Amino acid sequence: MILVLGDSLSAEYGLKRGEGWVPLLEKRLAQQKIAASVVNASISGDTSSGGRARFPALLTQHKPTHVVLELGANDALRGLPLTNTEDNLLQITKAAQAAGARVLIVGIQVPPNYGGDYTRRFEAVFAKVAGATKSALVPFLLKGVADAPDAMTLFQADRIHPTAAAQPQILDNVWLELRKLLPK
């Protein structure tokens, strides 16, 4: 069982149910005849501390074999200390691993208006946690979306949340690393 612990980028914010990358993941697993169910425990607006608070109950309830950890974007948008984000992601990952789950950490980047130093340090948090826990890593969830030549057409009017048209690319970004963790 794959548990996705994320924020609005995984919770289908502004999309019709079934259009987001997580439901597309379920379809891909079925198409490739990989026997794995998916639970989407993502909540729009969630921070790493919110995910950390919810995680023990999710572990107990679902007993996942894999955890896709996609949190941190809202920490940055709220200007929360990077040390807190890093610690929260580290503790979630360690708890998942202690329960026997393999973890895929999904990184995100913030716009450059946060300043070069903050932008670099924020991006590095995900790789740092993945390295410290020997977890798999997707460096940038929105690769091929936010940096696409036609990027603005792939975002909703808020310029934060990807459209339905962007979801297959987002799934491909996650799938590239997640597939390596799943049974052959």
SS3 for 134? coil
Question: Is residue 161 flagged as an active site residue?
Answer: yes
Which of 8, 42, 48, 135 is catalytic? The answer is 8
150 catalytic? Reply is no
Q: Are β-strands 66-70 and 102-106 bridged in parallel, bridged antiparallel, or unpaired?
A: parallel
Q: Judge contact between 107 and 126, C-beta under 8 A.
A: yes
In the set 49, 62, 87, 161, the catalytic residue is 161
Which residues touch 87 (CB under 8 Å, ≥6 apart)? none
- Is the Cβ–Cβ distance between 37 and 1 less than 8 Å? yes
Does the annotation mark 66 as catalytic?
Answer: no
Buried b (16+ CB within 10 A) or exposed e, 77-103: eeebebeebbbbbbbbbebbeeeebbb
Instruction: Report the distance separating Cα 53 and Cα 130, nearest Å.
Output: 20
Structure tokens at 126: 């995900």
User: How does DSSP assign 74-124, residue by residue?
Assistant: HHHHTT--HHHHHHHHHHHHHHHHHTT-EEEEE-----GGG-HHHHHHHHH
Question: Which residues are marked as active site?
Answer: 8, 158, 161
